[in-house]
Chains A and B, each alone.
Chain A
């Protein structure tokens, strides 16, 4: 069988879903998006099992491609399913729901395109197109803050991505081709332009991946977007941008400038992770807190890719595990938002009593994304730390350890307060110390709103305790 057909099928599924979703008939958009995302999961599983490597016409595949494809399609599927529960609760949405589902499908299509095409120019176009397809999704709830967040997201990310276009121009000027298969298969011509191209890619794709100090859009967009969209942003959009950055960075393999650029990437990665870990624990808005946690994870993943060796395997494992765990956390944050109608942690207390399942799942998801064993993120972070130890760079090891510990304490202290805290009953009339607020009565939770985050959290757990041979083979195949 012509293996390029696998890629065509992978892209055709969300494209068809996007087209059919626009049929003006109730329920069609949900059914079409669910079917297309399920088809994308099946095709990407087939791709993962096939172990396809190399160029296939317009497409290119290696371990990273296969891992990204299965991660993107899985989170896409669960986000579509969760949307069925979540978005119908939005009053006066900015766009009609059939447009919402159509854009969600196109958003997934552009991300799948970015990780499968065999051309750095097309990768750039696909990543830019993710902004086009997702801008309106951020503003769906039509609040002033959500429109502002959409504006900041589109403007900052676009301004950054223009810098990565310069990177593409420089790669073409110095190598005469943009085909990934040609660039990775042959020796790269040395010169000053290649490290400069990687520098521009770091600024451009780094902006979209939330790498500090270009991350200004990220907390706003993640906190203001509807929860299923936040899950896609955090779980798969940020890693897709990291993918483009890593593809450009890997071109330097074997060149004299590789070491210097590797250190630059490690520096940006660790700075991002540290900054996010520090800020995370001081948030008042729980969705913003989760957004900073995504930044922390992207910083660590970038360090893993830059370190090489088992660090790359760790980064790949962390991409998959974080996508499942963080999407679970965002879905639960959606459940909390629906129940409490507030994103403020001060107003959301004792969730475990009011939303028994969502509350506990939220606390567990927060543990999972901060690298608590035995979840998959722990395995990824452990591999990256092991690689850092093997380089003998004590400062890096200490900084990574500080990020892990500070991030873990910062996020979980806040989530435990939210889930198990009782808040305060307010100032007493006689001026005495306020007592704890009465526990809220348990509220009915829709089975879909619990089942989807539970399933994602279970996958994040399974990755930690049982490393799938297919996944491991793909991750190990990425090590040069």
Chain B
């Protein structure tokens, strides 16, 4: 054991709070660039947290998870997304309900408080791990991000945040679960397909995704 357990516990708690703060930061952004950078920072913080958890438990799975999180969601996917932003200048800013920052931040805070209350009532008695409330709340925040944004790239950051949250939950609750790494890989492959292939499919796609409605896709 390199570091005492107490210190590792404090460190993982601190990193968990920082991850949660990045989620609230994402809620407060109307521009696409900082949202992408925010989710990249969140992924890197999470990778660091996995390393801390590894130091505490010695489970090598966590180390692999840290490498995948930092490499793919911390660096590769955000890089491809930033490239998309530079390619389509018009999609730099959120439109529609995503512009109402104060309301969205308030909604985010309500989700954090409500989510924690729900976790404490429904899950804490069985899970007996209070730290697991952070990924639980993070899942709710990521769904809020996807639901309230119209910009395809911001929705994508919501997906990455949700992925971060669930892998965080997996690592906290059941780090020895078989296939945890495979879960991360499959989700990342999907992420790469989303940003790399579908968004690049046609040059007009980002513009079309921001339009309030496509007449044929209603009803």
A contact residues vs B (CB 8 Å cutoff): 94, 119, 121-122, 124-125, 128-129, 131-132, 135-136, 139, 142, 144-145, 147-152, 154-155, 158-159, 162-163, 165-166, 168-170, 172-174, 178, 191-193, 196, 219-220, 223-224, 279, 282-285, 288, 343
Contact = CB atoms under 8 A, between A and B. Distances in A.
Contacts of B190: 128, 131-132, 154, 158
A139 B198 contact: yes
Closest 9 CB pairs of A and B: A121-B179, A192-B126, A144-B208, A172-B177, A173-B174, A193-B126, A162-B162, A128-B186, A220-B217
B194 A158 contact: yes
B10 interface: no
B14 interface: no
Contact of A155 (B159, B169, B201): B159
B33 to A, nearest CB: 20
Contacts of A343: 216
A159 B162 contact: yes
Q: How large is the interface on B (under 10, 10 to 19, 20 to 34, 35 or more residues)?
A: 35 or more
A125 B183 contact: yes
A169 B205 contact: no
B62 to A, nearest CB: 15
Contacts of B204: 144
B180 to A, nearest CB: 9
Contacts of B170: 165, 169
Contacts of A128: 186-187, 190
Interface string B160-199: 0011011001100110011100110011011001100111
Given A144-B202, A169-B177, A193-B123, 6 more contacts: A139-B198, A144-B208, A155-B159, A165-B183, A169-B169, A169-B174
A130 B189 CA distance: 12
Nearest to A170: B173
B143 interface: yes
For the residues of A in contact with B, the DSSP-based class is: helix
Nearest to A174: B126
A196 B169 contact: no
Contact of B219 (A121, A125, A144, A288): A288
Contact of A147 (B155, B179, B202): B202
A169 B135 CA distance: 13
B214 interface: yes
Contacts of B165: 162
B216 A285 contact: yes
A148 B208 contact: yes
Given A94-B201, A159-B162, A121 B186 contact: no
A147 B201 contact: yes
A119 B180 CA distance: 13
A231 B214 CA distance: 23
Contacts of B156: 155
A326 to B, nearest CB: 19
Chain A CB within 10 Å — which of B123, B193, B194, B217 has the most?
A: B217
